[in-house]
Amino acid sequence: MTSPVMDIATRVVRWQAAHGRHHLPWQQTRDPYRVWLSEIMLQQTQVSTVLDYYPRFLQRFPDVAALAAAPLDDVLALWSGLGYYSRARNLHRCAQQVVAVHGGVFPATAEVLATLPGIGRSTAGAIAAFCFSQRVPILDANVRRVLTRVLAFGEDLAAARNERLLWAHAQDLLPMDDLDDAMPRYTQGLMDLGAGWCLPRKPRCGLCPLDDVCAARRAGDPEKYPVRTRKLRRSAQSWWLLLRRNAAGAIWLERRPMTGIWAGLYCPPVFDSAAALAWAEGRPGVRHLPAFLHVLTHMDLHLHPVLVPGDADTPPAQGGWYGPADWPALGLPAPVRKLLKGL
């Protein structure tokens, strides 16, 4: 009789072959560069969005050497709109390290991959499973949800020891045979189930290949899992954006600090109160543009743009005048890019 562990792996592999996703461009290759690029882009980003960015990135940076040799500004400019810009900076650092330390060849094991900038344990596992069929687990948000429900794993994942225990269970569930085919299919199958069937709310249990071996389903409470008591604390900030526009239509932009919100990107000077811009009131042509909300993962950012014509009193901080022809090549936060286009 097939053991429950083997039964789960076999079911996922067979289901993925028959019903899983096979059309995504990064599924048509075992090139670690392309798989790595897709995995980084897909972190906290919808597939539909990545489908637009992925081919453009490959056209501009067709291999890891091209990405490593590119200026960071070029990478940030192409990344603009994807959000979580630390991913782009780590992407660039990782490419440079692959070239400098590994001779331009991605390591073939999850253990070494996880030492590279921006590659955590789950991303390393995905690259190793997809490209090298290594028998290693992944635990992204979708897979974590699938496995905690199948196992009715009710331990609080806010505790590191429980996270380690779930990793051990994930390792035990991996396929044992025909790893060259089974590991990519099993890994993709868990991703597919989490993305389209084992949903956070109203999971489609009746259509899941693990329906009759899922402990949470049998108990009637799959939405109880995963358990994590420590929630992300949201906050709010208000920023006033000084839009200095000269007679040629250029805007004064500065590079943000390399830490914090929009790190390393170009942005108009930022102030934390309207009072800080009191000097501009009464000047000819000053306009307070409509304020708008930009939602980040951990924060609501209330943005108040103020347009001030003239190039006198250039702000003392490092920056420069950039016209509309320059903006496409700059790493600009998505709301700033949209704001500039609307001027």
Q: Catalogue the active-site residues.
A: 39
Residue 111 has which token pair? 């253990």
Helices 86-102/72-79 angle, 10° precision: 140
CB atoms within 10 A of CB 165: 14
From CA 26, how far away is CA 32, in angstroms rounded? 10
Residue with tokens 């108990």: 219
CA distances 219 to 12, 99, 214, 216, 284, Å, are 21, 51, 9, 5, 69
Contact 157, 163 (CB under 8 A): yes
From CA 41, how far away is CA 260, in angstroms rounded? 20
Contact 216, 55 (CB under 8 A): no
Nearest residue to 173 (alpha-carbon basis) of 197, 191, 151, 204: 151
